[in-house]
Amino acid sequence: MAESVRRVLGKPGSVDVRPYTKLLKAIDEREPALRELSDAELTERAAELGNAEGPYDRADLAELCAVGREAARRALGERPFDVQLVGVMALLDGHVAEMATGEGKTLAGALAAAGFALRGRRVHVLSVNDYLARRDAEWMRPLYDLLGVAVAWIGQESTREERSVAYSADITYASVSELGFDVLRDRLVTDVADRVVPEPDVALIDEADSVLVDEARVPLVLAGAAEAAEADLEMAELVRSLRPRIHYEVDGEGRNVQLTESGIDLVERELGGIDLYSEDDTSVLPRVNLALHAHALLQRDVHYVVRDGEVRLINESRGRIALLQRWPDGLQAAVEAKEKVAVSETGEILDSITVQALVLRYPTRCGMTGTAMAVAEQLREFYELEVAVVPPNKPCVRVDEADRLYATPEDKEDALIEEVATVHATGRPILIGTQDVAESERLAKRLADAGLECVVLNAKNDADEAAVIAEAGTYGAITVSTQMAGRGTDIRLGGSDMADRERVVETGGLYVMGYGRYPSSRLDDQLRGRAGRQGDPGSSIFFVSVEDDLIAANAPEARGADVTADGEITDPAWRSTVNHAQRVAEGQLLELHRNTWRYNQLIDVQRGVVLEHRQAVLAEGLGDRQLAVDCAGTHADLVEEVGEEEVARAAKLITLYHLDRGWTDHNAFLADLREGIHLRFLGRRNPLDEFHRDAVPAFKGFLDEARARAAETFEALEPVDGRLDVAVAGVKRPHTTWTYMVHEHPFSTEFETVVGRVRGALSRG
Ligand code: ADP
Ligand code: MG
């Protein structure tokens, strides 16, 4: 009774799922007739659903679900449960469906995607990683085939051409980051035909809370190199022959170096009797100075090391190799010439987009996850999404035990290991969730020392980890994993083939242990949710020490408690302290999210202005006309010389170049501005107001400025053999670009910035 009431009413703050459950009977009734159809007839029936436009009415919705159910039964051998169809309907209505781990969201999502596609909508199914995008697309392909809709996927290795083809399918699976990188690259094309991502239509987001909340602030970055600086080997060789104090002087602090009179003589002689200080050729002296700086002021193994054929800076204050820092470009190249290593590319950030902005481009958004209610408010605030709570197919019988609290991390770890030993002795599979990779590795070592062999997952290779975590329910298995590792993979009792299922069920099913509470209860729940899949037995427990970062940082005033000889805290008041600390952490994350959102809003508005103009230039030739008008007076003769078409081509390239150049510069300005803002915050002014105060005027006149520069460049053009070479006039587009994600570790207190994989991408001719 209680269960059926819950099923009908749902949870407060969620959308009412009763209208969906009411259709289940009608869907059932269609089943016998649909079973009689041949495959071709079933496909035909699906196509008929596309005869109408817009959202499904109730009759069509029931028909869609019935056809989808029959198609899944035939194509995948899985007949969707009622609750999965409720999920399908919630997705089609543009909600986030909360469905527990293992309830079959992949299938529910696929049926909803097909539903959209049959009505002519273009669907992007967004996953947290490439592995899942590919897995799910391939897994669901037979179903899509039977329903007559085309599916494709995109991965990190996909070429531009493959992407273009994949995006033209009805349904495209991609990781959020790959999609974002494509959107960024598309923003830089100089020909509409080079774009790969179509107009955004429907986004269906798997693990919606991870993507929309945890990763929302993560910027996806596109960087580019205009051209590699030239290796000045000649100069490096020349300065090598100079003697300190005879040919050059270094100041007391080792910060400046200057040629002496005899040094100047020597250099001038070596370079063939030139005049270093001549007014006519001012290009040589800076080259000499750069080479000399690299030679005399920067010492190998003090200021930098050469490793793997690359010059890497040593961060003097920390004595560590700084991976990302480099000297200003000319100097970097000079040191590389000095060390005779290949000159590295000089790069700059061309543009970036946050996951949040990426998702908001889609007029229709929906998603699914096991843990949505806890972030229902944020989903509403940032994405205008409502949560629909879909009950599990079979009631969840997992036992969530009360936390075990300890005074110190050592006590906690001792107790945890003892518990693992005891439980493991019964053959019951154990999954231990840690906060990060380092913790996993440390814990694994301690377990090994205690004679408990375990498998460690460290969130490094998604595909391998999926295979490993799939076996976490094997009899006697001990698996240690971070919260991110092995996402999207089902843990079946008795191993992935369930061969040993009965024996594992008898031990009590999967035993999930948390090695400390996470900074949000939602993450705790994700870990717990690994046990008790589809009505399986299982249990969960968290081991907590009051010295854990979460508690020490967020409930520092709490202290003093009754402790047993084992260091266990028995005072019940401590439970609420732990929960309080977690709520404080959740509040901070939300504030951080709101704050980033506010900054980004202004930046997005400005970017929007530039992109809109760019689009007009690209598609409608606005720039050509504008430029032609601007230049009619001064450069009218060009037309005559090279022809209208050539002028239009050049005008377009020049206009786009200056728009992009201007945006890259403005973007860098905004980044600097924002970095510096917190200093002003110390002066008790509102940092966001301060940011706006400078960012708004800095953007004023942006388009006019770009136009004026374009006109200048245009005037400098000289026709050669009937063509206009824009590169000569300084219009050089990045010849290489690369992409990366900037992960402010969402839950670290210090916001250490970890730059993710950096990889080469397309090159532009
Ligand atoms: P989730 O993403 O919700 O955690 P998955 O989509 O990975 O769950 O599915 C979990 C498991 O349930 C898969 O092994 C899948 O094959 C199975 N499954 C899904 N739907 C059904 C169904 N209607 N009948 C039987 N098995 C199903
Ligand atoms: Mg899943």
pLDDT digits (tens, 9 = 90+) for 519-552: 999 999 999 999 999 999 999 999 999 999 999 9
| pLDDT score at 634 | 52
Q: What tokens does 500 get? A: 């040993």
| pLDDT score at 16 | 94
The ligand whose atoms approach the alpha carbon of 490 most closely is 1
Q: Indicate which atom in ligand 1 lies nearest the CA of residue 99.
A: 3
The ligand whose atoms approach the alpha carbon of 129 most closely is 2
Nearest-angstrom CA–CA distance, 65 and 108: 10
Answer whether 367 contacts ligand 1 (Cβ < 6 A).
Answer: no
Nearest-angstrom CA–CA distance, 504 and 474: 7
Phi, psi of 240 (to 5 degrees): -60, -30
Domain 399-585 in CATH 3.40.50.300: yes
Answer whether 490 contacts ligand 1 (Cβ < 6 A).
Answer: yes
Q: How far is the CA of 538 from the centre of ligand 1 (A)?
A: 18
| pLDDT score at 91 | 98
Q: Indicate which atom in ligand 1 lies nearest the CA of residue 101.
A: 4
Q: How far is the CA of 103 from the centre of ligand 1 (A)?
A: 5
Q: How far is the CA of 421 from the centre of ligand 1 (A)?
A: 32
| pLDDT score at 747 | 34
Answer whether 105 contacts ligand 1 (Cβ < 6 A).
Answer: yes
Burial zone of 2 (CB within 10 Å; 0-12 exposed, 13-18 middle, 19+ buried): exposed
Q: How far is the CA of 236 from the centre of ligand 1 (A)?
A: 64
The ligand whose atoms approach the alpha carbon of 97 most closely is 1
Answer whether 81 contacts ligand 1 (Cβ < 6 A).
Answer: yes
Residue 438: which residues within 8 A CB-CB, separation 6 or more? Answer: none
Q: Indicate which atom in ligand 1 lies nearest the CA of residue 206.
A: 2
Q: What is the 3-state secondary structure (H, E, C) of 437-488?
A: HHHHHHHHHHHHHCCCCCEEECCCCHHHHHHHHCCCCCCCCEEEEECCCCCC
Q: Which of 105, 490, 491 to mutate to test the pocket of ligand 1 (most atoms within 8 A of CB)?
A: 490
Which value, to the nearest 10 degrees, does the dihedral of the CA atoms of residues 597, 598, 601, 603 take?
-100
Q: How far is the CA of 489 from the centre of ligand 1 (A)?
A: 10
The second-level CATH assignment, the architecture, of 230-343 is Alpha-Beta Complex (3.90)
Answer whether 158 contacts ligand 1 (Cβ < 6 A).
Answer: no
Q: How far is the CA of 10 from the centre of ligand 2 (A)?
A: 22
Binding residues for ATP: 84, 102-106, 490
Q: How far is the CA of 143 from the centre of ligand 2 (A)?
A: 17
Q: How far is the CA of 533 from the centre of ligand 1 (A)?
A: 10
Q: How far is the CA of 741 from the centre of ligand 2 (A)?
A: 23
| pLDDT score at 276 | 86
Q: What tokens does 35 get? A: 């079973």
| pLDDT score at 625 | 62
* Spans of the chain below 70 pLDDT: 1-11, 226-230, 253, 282, 314-329, 345-347, 558-560, 621-638, 640, 676, 678-685, 736, 742-765
The number of beta carbons lying within 10 Å of the beta carbon of residue 115 is 29
Q: How far is the CA of 647 from the centre of ligand 1 (A)?
A: 59
| pLDDT score at 395 | 95
The ligand whose atoms approach the alpha carbon of 128 most closely is 2
Answer whether 263 contacts ligand 1 (Cβ < 6 A).
Answer: no
| pLDDT score at 728 | 76
3-state class (DSSP) for residue 514: strand
Among protein residues, the one with the nearest Cα to ligand 1's atom 5 is 104
Q: Which of 65, 79, 107, 390 to mutate to test the pocket of ligand 1 (most atoms within 8 A of CB)?
A: 107
Among protein residues, the one with the nearest Cα to ligand 1's atom 9 is 104
CA distances from 337 to 229, 234, 253, 330 (A): 11, 9, 25, 10
Phi, psi of 211 (to 5 degrees): -70, -50
The ligand whose atoms approach the alpha carbon of 103 most closely is 1
3-state class (DSSP) for residue 646: helix
The ligand whose atoms approach the alpha carbon of 105 most closely is 1
Any idea which residue has 């404080």 for tokens?
584
Answer whether 489 contacts ligand 1 (Cβ < 6 A).
Answer: no
Residue 725: which residues within 8 A CB-CB, separation 6 or more? Answer: 717
Burial zone of 453 (CB within 10 Å; 0-12 exposed, 13-18 middle, 19+ buried): exposed
Q: How far is the CA of 523 from the centre of ligand 1 (A)?
A: 21
CATH number of the domain located at residue range(s) 2-217+355-389 in this protein? 3.40.50.300
- Residues forming a β-bridge with 741: 220
Answer whether 662 contacts ligand 1 (Cβ < 6 A).
Answer: no
Residues with CB under 5 A from ligand 2 (ion): 105, 488
| pLDDT score at 730 | 77
Q: Indicate which atom in ligand 1 lies nearest the CA of residue 106.
A: 6
Binding residues: 84, 102-106, 490
Answer whether 369 contacts ligand 1 (Cβ < 6 A).
Answer: no
Any idea which residue has 């197919």 for tokens?
393
Confirm whether 2-217+355-389 and 230-343 share one CATH topology: no
Residue 380: which residues within 8 A CB-CB, separation 6 or more? Answer: 386
Q: What tokens does 287 get? A: 């080259």
Q: Indicate which atom in ligand 1 lies nearest the CA of residue 489.
A: 7
Residue 374: which residues within 8 A CB-CB, separation 6 or more? Answer: 209, 520, 521, 522, 525
| pLDDT score at 318 | 40
The ligand whose atoms approach the alpha carbon of 210 most closely is 2
Rounded to two decimals, what is the model's pTM? 0.82
| pLDDT score at 765 | 25
Q: Which of 65, 78, 128 to mutate to test the pocket of ligand 1 (most atoms within 8 A of CB)?
A: 78
- Residues forming a β-bridge with 720: 723
Among protein residues, the one with the nearest Cα to ligand 1's atom 20 is 104
C-beta separation of 192 from 154 below 8 A: no
Answer whether 15 contacts ligand 1 (Cβ < 6 A).
Answer: no
Q: Which of 106, 140, 143, 396 to mutate to test the pocket of ligand 1 (most atoms within 8 A of CB)?
A: 106
Q: Which residue, 622, 625, 602, 613, is CA-closest to 699?
A: 602
Q: How far is the CA of 157 from the centre of ligand 1 (A)?
A: 28
**Domain limits, the chain:** 2-217+355-389, 230-343, 399-585, 622-667+702-734
